[in-house]
Amino acid sequence: MGRSAAFFDLDKTVIAKSSALAFGRPFYRDGLITRRDVVKSAYAQLMFRLGGTDEQTMARTRDYLATLCKGWQVEQVRQIVAETLHELINPYVYAEAAALIEEHQAAGRDVVLVSASGEEMVRPIGVLLGVTDVIATRMGVVDGRYSGEVEFYAAGPRKVDAVGELATERGYDLADSYAYSDSYSDRPLLECVGHPSVVNPDRQLRRLAVENSWPVLEFRHPIPLGRRLRERPGVPVAAAALGVGVGVAIGIAWYGRHRRTRTAPAPA
């Protein structure tokens, strides 16, 4: 029997917000994106989270990401993330997720963050959590700037490809490994391990979890790292399913509006 690992999705699983959108304000402040880009990025992510498992949706999201980032200086992005990480991400780390990560590490398992966000964002968040292994989207770089090409898009089945490669390299036994996610788009990731759990799941994922008797975890306590270390709160890691949350309900409302307007002619 090989070693085991624990694979964690990032957004709404480990942190209580979107890691990519969290940096929208400093990116806008430094002139990397416009107000229109902020709105389009938020809407694109919402649509991906609601139905992002089909290849067409993932391809559109990937291509939009590549176009948006083309020409950005990589070092500028890294500096923005480093300067704002403790303000924009640290207060939103779920205490339950941090405790669960520590439990896996104490049991001798490697912990891996698996996220569709860019590696320049995900890796520093991993350092914040004491996690050194990440699987994240990698952008092409030419002369220190993003080229407009996506070398690897860490979404849907692509996450599983990367997990499989890492398992082969490290000797992980995936049947004895764990995975955590909040989104139905991560169904392939959850199904590739022997111990999947869903965290604050969307409606489709909650239904899938019930059908497969997967544990449903409700994380509700985002707490800054410094306070977490001082207080060591005894928050429950697992809880019974509580029904569709407010965030999911809002997302469904947005989706309904999107469905009603999809057939309307595009503005000239």
Active site residues: 9, 11
CB atoms within 10 A of CB 51: 15
Q: Read out DSSP for 76-134?
A: HHHHHHHHHHHHHTGGGBBHHHHHHHHHHHHTT-EEEEEEEEEHHHHHHHHHHHT--EE
Residue type at 124? Answer: P
Distance CA 221, CA 216 (A): 16
Q: Give the list of residues 6+ apart from residue 74 with CB closer than 8 angstroms, or none.
A: 120, 141, 144, 145, 146
Distance CA 178, CA 261 (A): 40
Q: Is 142 exposed, middle or buried (0-12, 13-18, 19+ CB in 10 A)?
A: exposed
Distance CA 232, CA 228 (A): 5
